[in-house]
Structure 1
Amino acid sequence: MVTLLLDATRLEVALSFSERTLAFHKQNVFIERSSIVKVQLTEDAWTWLRGVPSPGTYLPGLIAMGTWKSASGSDFAVIRRGRPAVVIDLEGHPDFGRVVLTTSHGVALVQALRRGEVEEAADVSELAESPPPAAKPRKRPAAKPATA
């Protein structure tokens, strides 16, 4: 299963050795936070695949890993059967328009992205478990006495 690392500027999709081999991808996938347009959770990641694997590994209903090319551009996928997934739509990314990943940490990713600034790279599941930073107390305007 992919590991999702998030810091203040980017999301890193850390691939295991077997995932790199099956995806024909030599390094982890880096996504600038500013290029993330939308994050969706889904139970059926297969419906989000567009195009054909090029390069990649595709065993229908079992796994789909690698780059998917279509008329609308390139997507990156790491999908395994029977697992929930997260779909990340991108704009302005140099390589991909969408990233589809099966992960049990989809909800944690959404929560971590909403949190805002994170000082150093941390696993998404750990970020979601830690308490959010303390909010600054808001100053309330002084109450005006009622006039009679």
Structure 2
Amino acid sequence: MASLRVHQDRLEIHLTSAEKVLSLRRDDIVVPRDDIRSVTITDDPWIWIRGIRAPGAFVPLTLAVGTWKFHGGKDFIVVKNKRPSVIIDIDGGEFARVVVSTNHAVELIGSLKITESDAVTG
């Protein structure tokens, strides 16, 4: 599972070797904290996937890893099974949104210092 690391100026999403292979990506994802617009916690990440996979891997309700392109841009998805996930909306940058399965969603929001009005639980 991808690990999320919060730094003072950025959020790093470190992909495992398997996730890099499945997503056809060499680098980890780095999001400047100033570009994070909102963070949402969800128990059903599958309803948040939009667009078409290009490139990446997809097994319905089991695994989604890679880039999904939609009319307004691109999202990066790392979703496994029905694990809780965070949806990070981003202004500018490579992706419009990042959806990542994590068991530490509440701690992530706390460490990003997102206010309750910015964090939506769904």
Question: TM-score higher than 0.5 here?
Answer: yes
Displacement of 1:34: 0.5
Q: Which residue of the partner structure matches residue 53 of structure 1?
A: 53
Superposition map of 1:26-105 within 5 A: 26-93=26-93, 95-105=94-104
1:78 deviates by: 0.2
Partner of 1:129: none
Residues 45, 84 of structure 2: 8 Å contact kept: yes
Q: Could you tell me the percent identity over the aligned residues?
A: 39
Partner residue of 2:119?
none
Question: Scaled by the length of structure 2, what TM-score is found?
Answer: 0.91
Regions of 4+ moved over 4 Å: none
Alignment RMSD (CA, Å): 1.0
Q: How far apart are the structure 2 equivalents of 1:78 and 1:36? A: 18
Which has the larger Rg? 1
Unaligned ranges ≥5, structure 1: 116-148
Between Structure 1 and Structure 2, which shows a larger proportion of strand residues?
A: 2
8 A Cα contact 2:45 2:82, kept in partner: no
Distance in 2 separating the partners of 1:10 and 1:16: 19
Give 1:82 deviation, angstroms. 1.7
Contact 2:38 2:89 in 1 (8 A): yes
- Distance in 2 (CA, whole Å) between partners of 1:45 and 1:21 is 22
Gaps of 5+ in 2: 115-122
Residue type at the aligned position of 1:111: G
**What's the CA shift string for 1:80-113, capped at 9, x where partnerless?**
01200000000011x1000000000111110000
Q: Distance in 2 between matches of 1:16 and 1:45?
A: 19
Q: How many residues align?
A: 114
